[in-house]
Structure 1
Amino acid sequence: MTRDSRPITMARALQGGAPEWRNDCEAVVKERYPPIAEAFHWLAQHAPSRLTGTGACLFATFETQQTAQATAQLAEQYWPTWVARGLNTSPLHAALGYF
């Protein structure tokens, strides 16, 4: 069984719709590291959640900052947490005049 996603081009990613966004490492990381699987399962009960790269961090998207902070406070009893605002444009790119 292969766990590899088919390659995605920027053109296809920008087409909209629902491309099959997934992290190919997620299943392997959850299988090999039960504490990460547990944290992922907990977070996914509160918001759509993802694993960064090979599992250094988990992150979730929230509708409001208040909801994110409330969830972070619940999670703090188990794991270190941070609430950050997402950006659509890199501040570095903006500073360099790309956007």
Structure 2
Amino acid sequence: MKGSIIACALLAALPIVCLAADQGGGRALVGDEVQTQTAHWLRLQREGKLASPHPQVSTPGERELALQRWLDSHKHPIPEFFEQDAGGELGE
């Protein structure tokens, strides 16, 4: 008998407890925008908050070598068709 009275009292107090918990400043437990770790890192990158104070510069020689590598990549023509057997066989 005592157990059922306590259970009824707890059930009657439940709406009051929920109402008190809802008075937490109008904020939801989870924000409107759930921010994943990836979104967090992208935001930091976009805003530049963790950028190095020392800019990375390349020397004129490094720039020349990079440009030459890019130009050399255009020397090989793209074939119209690729050989079907060039990739080998699939094992089953």
* TM-score between both structures, scaled by the size of structure 1: 0.21
**Considering only CA atoms, is the larger Rg found in Structure 1 or Structure 2?**
2
- The structure with the largest strand share of the pair is 1
* TM-score between both structures, scaled by the size of structure 2: 0.23
- The structure with the largest helix share of the pair is 2
